[in-house]
Structure 1
């Protein structure tokens, strides 16, 4: 380095380490005795801070005081402002102090997954809101068509992941109708298309052998963009003319397409009075294949149900609603009733039945009379038809007690019981076992009945009774009682029995005492039972007590009593 320099002398500048020369590194001494512009040694900055999922635009190897850098995000990432500071633009500057203006992560921008440019409208006029340069994951945009256009497609879209929108294509704004109601099967429409402009008229048509049920045209109506018909017509299979009933009337009751025979058409068949169907077919329907369910029936002359009986209840077979000519019906009385009249009737050519109905009567059996009964029945037969009255009389002019006649009722019983002639059976033996002779149901006045007891029984009472003029018996029935033998007293015993006899009738009571003032030990009485035994065992008599000893014993007892008091 010199103190003085000649004109045109050139000096070369260099900067110390860590500094960068700004300007020309050569300075020349000018004729004006001044130097040309001198360079500056500016302090260097280290490599700039980096950001995740991003980088530095046009990055170089070194930066000096005053240099600016611009951060950019990787593809499909969106830059958001830092948590602190105001570095919204993503810039950073090398300061004269050799450091970067923004160094901390809190002051640097962030790159997050996002989307750009949402899919636009496919056709028509519409707007997207909100409009931004970029959108974060989860951000949504709304599509809106301007009147009179209507939106076709989704009205919104969402950024679902880095660079991807939920819908790859935007909706369309179209002045027309969509969702045309179409024929389900066996038909078509013209023109064909997903979208039909306003005022478009669509015409429906059916395949061969099918007929259209409903409106043939459908129009796209402005400004609501709806179809004039909300449902499509149907194409129904054509059917032959309905089979016609022979001798009767065929009536259309379901007519899907008036004037045309198609699937779903239904007809009813009916016959005139005094006619019926040989095979009952009340209706017929054409199916979806275009075929009728059956052939038509034939109406022929017939009779209705045969007349029912006027008395009683009956059944007839066969039992049905209609009978053809010459058919025969057989009557049967029910509930055990007896048939009176013709049991059969036949359907004649004039549709009338050949005979009047029979009657069904109840019957009563002849009242039962025992062998030898004095009761006479007129008329006398095994059974009687309901309503028949019979008369009762008595043999041998015996007196009749009760009704003189009875009538057979519907419930097969008589309205009065059998009367009694003379005396009925005599009173029966009520105690014991016995019989009476003669044994018969009726007795005339003056007849005598004799009672007899069975083996082992003794008759007590009157052994006979007589039928009296007033049809009553002269005596009550006797009793047939058993007997007990006298209780056996041992030899030398002092027991005495009162009354003392060899046999006793059942129910007889005997008493026991002892002779010579001997003390009795046991019961003092016993009764004869039906089984010929006594109800108590024989007592015993103790030793004889002398009279003086007896007196002394009594005196002692008195003294003891006085002392104790």
Structure 2
């Protein structure tokens, strides 16, 4: 819904597009170029964003509303209906400042109408302003709001036009009317005339020159007051017509220029002055002269000019001076009645110690500024020339002349050399040096000891043995490595730099004893170093596999790999026919410490030792035994008879008797046989009887 509000006489008009206008009008005075009215217009349907609201207002009216005073705010709050979304007004943040978009003027503090706690800039983009119409809290106050929100819009149609006020005033809208606010310095209903100040009168001995911007002696007119030559202004020279109709100050006056009073005749001279108008005023003149023996310093005549300054400063009369007497080595005793080395001064001379006088003993300063004769001179006593010695530089201090009285010379030795003799000599008043110059002798380093063990040394001595600039180079023999610098030099400090190196024997890795063996080493230059030799031996029952001796070479490697110890082997053993063998091998098959045990099948007898062991020489400690057929005894026959069987009891008893008899006989026979076998070295095998 769109409505238009005038100030009085409400009427309702309906137009196309379904938009309803409510107009309240207020006719302007006839003097305001006919009937005019400043109108408010509002719309609530549809709700609009701030940009849409302003575009709508500018399309159909003048612009979105610009509120100029609290009366307008009260009027709008009274006449506009309550709208749930409230209304946009013509304030927006421009470059960080709240600005009336219609006039592009920044909102002033006194014109602010913010609600409590506003503007708070909550959220994003609260750069536009709404007004709370008929809201219970903060009624008719303003709130900053997001410009994309949709609200009602308040537009206005202006009553001011370009012709309403002159160029020196601003048209101010009021409810149903306007007034002209005149710029500073202008007045009238339409600000059409400038404020006028009174005329400016020319001062005596002066003139006035005015510039009128808006009319004679009107606002912003300026007048420049000038005085004639020889006169000066009292107060400021320029006047300005203010907006109050008054000049910013009174018209100044012109007074005659005066020069400072002349202090009087200069010392040693006189002065004569003339004052045509008044003492020390414009056109006054003064002339100066000096007495004999004095010179005029400055202009002879001066005049008071139009600026109140003398054309020349007051001169002075200075006494004539002669050039100062400063002959070399001369002592002068002078009398100066008018100043040092000035007119009528006299000086007597003598020479200082170490000098001789040539010339007059007394001089007088004349009025011409010259001495009565040529000044004497004192020649300094000279000593003979000194020359630097070898490997040194001569350094002298000559207060007067080179190699003259009071000269002192030193000899500075070059780096690596030291002084032998007195360090300084002094030229005396008799022209003789106090001491002979010293000499510079090369600094000595400690004598280098013999070449390092396992190496050699070659030294060079350009100046003297083991002295400054001497050098020694070192080289190590095969099997040795240089530890340190290859070359050392005798420095200016008397020390060899760097320290002398050493030759360190090359080190081979350690030789580890083989399993079942040992190592015995001979070290010539240190443990496992070059030329060390190691002998490897195996334990009893083991034999060496590889070279028995190792030598540490110059390359840091042993000439052979460490050998190993392998167990001694015996011939393989097999079981005898009609028997078997059982062997044990702790180290390797049929090697040192292996053992074998033998047995014969049933019915056979073991002929030899039943056990043998492989010894450290690779031999069995006993030969392998044999198995022989066992002979049958009477007991065996009786057993066979029993196997055939005897059925009768008598037969059985007879058989038992035979068995007992057979055993006794067999035991006796066996005992005799065993004795025979032990005597022959054959180990008998006992049969279970």
* Alignment TM class, shorter chain as reference: 0.3 to 0.5
- Kindly indicate which of the two structures has a greater share of residues assigned to helix: 2
What TM-score results when the alignment is normalised by the length of structure 2?
A: 0.28
